[in-house]
Homo-oligomer: A and B are copies of this chain.
């Protein structure tokens, strides 16, 4: 290897300040920060119902779909199948959902219980308040573009 190439390589691997500083713009880090912050806001709002934000959204999805398999629900939630399995556990334990085998014995069908629907009805106005607050503070226009961009991020990764 020529001296020139060695120098290039050394430069390439040197960790200088400005180069490291750029890492603070990490898309992943900033998404995670925003998610941590916003999750606390929604969790706080939903606390009277005993639901976490993630649980609320899963229940909503199940209500809309009425009856859905684990794999299908995982696809919709852009969630690993095994993650969903674990996330359904506390919902089942609290009696909010019911999980039974489908006609295809491999599948597990998830549905809301009556109790689940009741809790969801109590949670809905609380969620609406939190959502309205976020949209108001962010501004409708900015919120719209954020929603669109988040959707773009998801499809960007799926097409990888």
B64 touches A21 (CB 8 A): yes
Measured in the bound complex, the distance between the Cα atoms of B29 and A54 in whole Å is 7
Smallest CB separation, A61 vs chain B (Å): 7
Q: Does A5 contact B (CB under 8 A)?
A: no
A35 touches B31 (CB 8 A): yes
Knowing that A38-B153, A134-B156 touch, tell me 6 more A-B residue pairs with CB under 8 angstroms.
Answer: A15-B117, A21-B64, A24-B64, A40-B157, A138-B152, A145-B149
Measured in the bound complex, the distance between the Cα atoms of B156 and A135 in whole Å is 10
Q: Does A39 contact B (CB under 8 A)?
A: yes
A156 touches B142 (CB 8 A): no
Question: How many copies of this protein are present in the complex?
Answer: 2
Q: Which B residues are CB-close (under 8 A) to A149?
A: 138, 142, 145-146, 149
Measured in the bound complex, the distance between the Cα atoms of B112 and A15 in whole Å is 14
B150 touches A63 (CB 8 A): no
Query: In chain B, what residue has the closest Cβ to A135?
Result: B27
- Residues of A in contact, count (CB < 8 Å): 68
Q: Does A60 contact B (CB under 8 A)?
A: yes
Measured in the bound complex, the distance between the Cα atoms of B38 and A133 in whole Å is 26
B156 touches A124 (CB 8 A): no
B28 touches A42 (CB 8 A): yes
Smallest CB separation, A74 vs chain B (Å): 11
A79 touches B39 (CB 8 A): no
